[in-house]
Amino acid sequence: MYFTTTDGTTLAYEDYGTGEPIVFVAGAMLNTEMWEYQIPYFTERGYRCIALDRRGHGRSDRPSTGYDIDTTADDLGALLDHLDLRGATLVGHSTGGAEIARYLARHGESRVARVVFLAAILPFMKATDDNPGGIPEAMLDALVASIRTDRGRWLARQSQIYFNSHLNPDVSPEHIDITYRQCLSTAPWATLHMQQAVFHCDNREALRGITVPTLIVHGALDFSAPAEVTGRRTAELMPQAVYKEYPTAGHGLYTSHAAEFNDDLLEFVKV
């Protein structure tokens, strides 16, 4: 299914089941297919599951503009408006978490009942004078250089640590390859610009303004979004939130720890 955003970009989404809506927002370079272990689980338990292909990802249009967090957050808002959703639980992985936080800051909470930040790149990655615990911009420069030089090799190296498969042997080489190919299918332009956008995105004030119930789930061994820079600091800014950290999980915990995460999410949405 498709809808058109305010700037004329056509975005793809999937919509399964009936009942209380759960909207899944993928991480950068990933698309609706990343949620294959969540969507059947929740539709079978009476929930409506909706997942979005971000611009430049999956089956959505590949425009040359709009790869900033404000615009992609507005795209999420356009989906919620298109479906006229009420009482939705928003689940955002990685960059998807940053987009949810920015959506709430820009559009409010009237359509939202709960928020889940899964390995989310929050609150602010970049090291600055008032964010000394962040990551030096030189590391982003090196990452961008790797993408520009050999995107396939960069993704292949990332995929080896994405799931911490040496600690989570149930994640098969075949599934790692599926994820690699999914990321490789994303527009190179989108890959490059989304990495830059989320690194510079400061959501500290946005997080302080969230009043709906919030669940934060992170992997202690997350290489892409280190827990000490992201998940734990997000929890500090949101003392009312529930924080869960999985000791052996990396960034791909929606697969490596699917059973545990699904149980935690189900318990959360039942409240």
Active-site residue numbers? 94, 222, 251
Q: How far apart are CA 179 and CA 156, in angstroms?
A: 10
Is-contact 102 87, C-beta < 8 A?
Answer: no
**What number of other Cβ atoms are within 10 A of residue 87's Cβ?**
10
Q: How far apart are CA 201 and CA 198, in angstroms?
A: 5
- Report how far apart, in Å, the C-alpha atoms of 192 and of each of 68, 145, 202, 254 are: 11, 10, 18, 23
Q: Which of 249, 247, 242 is nearest to 265 (CA)?
A: 242
CA angle 12, 100, 76 (to 5 degrees): 25
